[in-house]
Structure 1
Amino acid sequence: MGLVLKYVIQTKAGTWHYRRRLPRDLAPLLRQNEFKRHLGDTKREALRNYPKVNGDFDRLVAEARRRNSAGLPAETPLEVHRMAERRAQELAGMTVMVGGRMLPGSDPEAADVIRESHLGAHGETDDVEGRAVAILSSGGKLSRPAPTIEDARKLYLKEKVGDDTKKTLELDRVFKLVSEALQSDRTLASIKREDAKEVRDHMRDGRKASSVDRYLNVVRAVINHAIREFDLAGVANPFMYLEADTKDKAEPDRDKRRPFTADELKDTTARILFLANPALQRIWQMLEGTGCRLAEVAGLRVSDVHLDHAIPHITVEWHDDRRIKNAVSRRNVPLIGNALDAAKAAVTAAGNAAMLFPAYGRPNGASSASAALGKHVRAVVTDPKVTTHSLRHLMKDRLRLAGVSKADQDIVLGHSSGSEGEKYGRGQEAMLEVAQRALKAALGIEDKRK
């Protein structure tokens, strides 16, 4: 009785093979029309290997559909090689009849039989299977392809970005521009400084210098990570120290924000307190009274608000629902005046919720709050240099005008002073007192403890 399994054929030479047509819509992406695998030289081997190979087909199709729907490119040569290495190990574990002897697939004679049997059965083979046979025939000495730009992007996505949707979209946006200037299959070792400049120039088309510099920072990080993780000794990152424009040619004033004037702040605050929802009203008052970044306030947890402390304050720190800019940004910020009242009201309104502002303490929540507050700002102030972030610039100016030292300004705003000596000897309680004194001076509130 013959072996009856779907998609299985026996060649004239007596070997068993799995052959199955790929869905027509996926064939261009996979660069093949048919999925082909060698099941073994005997019926028993074919039966044993069939479930695994049939599962490989299902996984290949499922992954191709996912990549196709997401508009992602096909596997790179390096990815194909890695899959082929795993497949070669499977082939090496097979037993092959050679001249009346049963030899493992890893034996050179057996490897030759597998290669000839495979080519005789399939002719043109798919990338993975063909390379797996080549690896087996070479005794595992077939060198890996050099990593490409696309390999670098995928590695960074996997190891650094993960499930962060916002960062994934930014990475895709940046490397779409890179691939438009350079082919994504260019090897990292082949990219020179002139190539990097071509990418920079392509990015500059219709974009602000600040945006291009941000994009170039992403490219630098991706290439640096790839050079390190792929062990590319001697390969330099051609994007290092590459800027959107030279400093003397740049036009920084066009991109800078400015603080609110007194009248602009008064009118904008009045509009927000009259028209915005209660959460946005409280966020606005806390921003004005602390100088924090919007994401720092929108991402606060109720547990980050310390109202019973001798100096009521909020703790700005990294947690799963909010990423702060850097380690220096981790700090305690005193709550004074309207900011304290807003924080108290927010804690009450939050109830049993973990986040202080449940509507905005989520992924992209700060962006939603920024957009909503931005509409109120723009309804009052038409100057594009004035945004919600201008409250932070205003606090910086207030601190300066109040005669607060640069080191103490940095404690309030979460900036690096660049001097370890300024921080030496200052515990958290001492820094909180310093920050409170600085904020009271900036806001014109008398310090009764003097």
Structure 2
Amino acid sequence: MGRRREEQDPDRFLRLRGDHFHYYRRVPKEVGDLDRRGAFVRRALGTADRKKARTARDLNEAADNALWASLMLGENPQAARVRYDQAIKRAESLGFVYRPLAEILTAEPLENILQRFENTISEPAKSPVVDAVAGMVERPDDKISDALKLYFSEIVCDELRTKSPDQRKRWKAKRQMSVDVFIELVEDKSMSKITREDALKVHKYWLDRVAPEKGAGDRSASTGNRNIANLRSLYADYFRHLGFPEQKNPFADLSFSDKSKRSRPPFPTAWIKDKILAPGALKNLNDQARGIVLAFVETGCRPSEIANLYDGVIHLEHDVPHISVEPREDPEDPREIKTASSVRKVPLVGVALEVFKKHPNGFPRYKDREAQLSAAVNKHFKKHNLFPTENHTFYSLRHSFEDRMKNARLDEELRRMLMGHTIDRPKYGEGGEMKMWQEELMKIALPFDPAIV
């Protein structure tokens, strides 16, 4: 209880000497023999302002906590990182930016160097203050596998916070694969020792997959670009996290031309009517997968967007029944939407409206399970010959929806809005009344037998 009260005290570790504040703190017994400063830590904070003193106290407190954690870790591999973080915080507490000694001598003006010297003149030759102010603590040099763990646990943890478990899993897996390829081709190398030659070796590996000297490649240019970009981002974010944003990136300016990028072919409208919407065509699919396929036909929403709808965003009671595609901001059950432009409302017409009348609470079987949904639907379509060609996939229905809107001469801006594509102008209002959107979509609604739902 005593320690808890101490942590809640806004003036903990502060003492007034005259009219100026000092930082005064007892060294924990666990590290009493390891901390060379003695039983107590004392430091003048150089201010009579209580608010500034509390800020300086926070920095000193964080630095000491990190130092003592480092001492208790002993030779643990994480100790170097803790010592480095502690040095950065302690330098900040004294009004300096932490820099390695060589960088201080070459990059800082003489006046700054003298100020650093004055702040350490009364300190023992080997002390946390001297190490921090004089840049004597080596920055950690993680191997790329450990850097990726740090990337996930600290550097991008705020970005991962808004992803659902499945989104998080897939996001991590893509970056893990990029690092695994690097390790297989080069080695599990320290980040500071990665060279341009190493990066070129990885680039050559993907080049041979994307554009081999003979025959067609087994990977697309976008796959190669994505993997190089994962390594480039990891490298840049890692050194930015350490306080070295200027570190030259060996993966910079390496990419593959994607001029021959191919789009998935759309399903012909007649094929959708005669094959996919035919009675019995989807009867062997479970009812939720079948509902998603049918809703996909008349909304064009991405399968993942439909699979993750829930009762709070399915609005059947409105004058214009519609669904709202939006991020799920529940901290216990978050989910991101692909892009800002993907947040939208889509009126329900035709077979899609009937589907949501049957599934007013959405499709919980496939919530956060897009991979299982795609596998089930693609397997069914192949088995029952519902693909016009080998190049078609389940996702091709989205391209069909867009083509049907074009052929019906729906306004381009409305098409972009309904597809969740970017509109190249400032957004004003909703872009029109929902009733008008409904009337436009009715122009392309396909006939269906209610029994298929």
Distance 1:84 1:333 in 2: 54
What is the Cα deviation at residue 408 of structure 1? Answer: 1.2
Matches within 5 A, 1:235-384: 235-243=247-255, 245-248=256-259, 251-253=260-262, 256-265=263-272, 266-270=274-278, 272-319=281-328, 320-347=333-360, 350=361, 356-361=362-367, 363=368, 365-379=369-383, 380=385, 381=387, 383-384=389-390
Aligned to 2:440: 438
Aligned to 2:173: 169
Structure 1 spans left out of the alignment, 5+ residues: 1-36, 46-51, 61-74, 89-105, 112-131, 351-355, 446-450
Amino acid at match of 1:258: P
What is the Cα deviation at residue 357 of structure 1? Answer: 1.1
Deviations 1:112-141 (A, max 9, x none): xxxxxxxxxxxxxxxxxxxx9xx9899982
Asked if 2 retains the 8 angstrom alpha-carbon contact of 1:401 and 1:442, the reply is no
1:153 to 129, 132, 148: 148
Change (3 A) 1:165 1:233: closer
Moved more, 148-157 or 209-218: 148-157
Matches within 5 A, 1:413-424: 413-420=419-426, 423-424=427-428
Q: In structure 2, the residue corresponding to 1:239 is in which secondary structure?
A: coil
Change (3 A) 1:138 1:300: closer
Asked if 2 retains the 8 angstrom alpha-carbon contact of 1:407 and 1:417, the reply is yes
Asked if 2 retains the 8 angstrom alpha-carbon contact of 1:300 and 1:357, the reply is yes
1:225 to 212, 237, 257: 237
Asked if 1 retains the 8 angstrom alpha-carbon contact of 2:70 and 2:83, the reply is no
Distance 1:234 1:136 in 2: 23
Moved more, 331-340 or 257-266: 257-266
Distance 2:132 2:420 in 1: 60
TM-score calculated relative to the size of structure 1? 0.62
Distance 2:225 2:85 in 1: 41
Q: In structure 2, the residue corresponding to 1:180 is in which secondary structure?
A: helix
Amino acid at match of 2:320: I
Asked if 1 retains the 8 angstrom alpha-carbon contact of 2:324 and 2:346, the reply is yes
Distance 1:240 1:437 in 2: 49
What is the Cα deviation at residue 321 of structure 1? Answer: 4.7
Moved more, 219-228 or 374-383: 219-228
Deviations 1:389-428 (A, max 9, x none): 11100011011111123211111100002222xx33x337
Amino acid at match of 1:443: A
Q: In structure 1, the residue corresponding to 2:424 is in which secondary structure?
A: coil
Q: In structure 2, the residue corresponding to 1:314 is in which secondary structure?
A: strand
Asked if 1 retains the 8 angstrom alpha-carbon contact of 2:307 and 2:370, the reply is yes
Distance 2:326 2:86 in 1: 46
What is the Cα deviation at residue 82 of structure 1? Answer: 2.0
Distance 2:85 2:152 in 1: 23
Deviations 1:174-208 (A, max 9, x none): 1101222344434358543x543321222343433
Distance 1:171 1:229 in 2: 18
Amino acid at match of 1:412: L
Change (3 A) 1:337 1:378: same
What is the Cα deviation at residue 142 of structure 1? Answer: 2.8
Distance 2:410 2:441 in 1: 9
1:202 to 202, 205, 216: 205
Distance 2:190 2:283 in 1: 56
TM-score calculated relative to the size of structure 2? 0.62
What is the Cα deviation at residue 280 of structure 1? Answer: 1.1
Asked if 1 retains the 8 angstrom alpha-carbon contact of 2:73 and 2:79, the reply is no
Change (3 A) 1:411 1:140: closer
Asked if 2 retains the 8 angstrom alpha-carbon contact of 1:149 and 1:184, the reply is yes
Amino acid at match of 1:338: V
Asked if 2 retains the 8 angstrom alpha-carbon contact of 1:290 and 1:333, the reply is yes
Distance 1:384 1:188 in 2: 46
1:213 to 203, 225, 233: 225
Change (3 A) 1:138 1:264: same
Distance 1:401 1:187 in 2: 53
Distance 1:267 1:178 in 2: 46
Aligned to 1:6: none
Aligned to 1:29: none
Amino acid at match of 2:219: R
Amino acid at match of 1:324: I
Change (3 A) 1:210 1:55: same
Change (3 A) 1:87 1:443: closer
Distance 2:132 2:346 in 1: 66
Amino acid at match of 1:346: H
Change (3 A) 1:289 1:87: closer
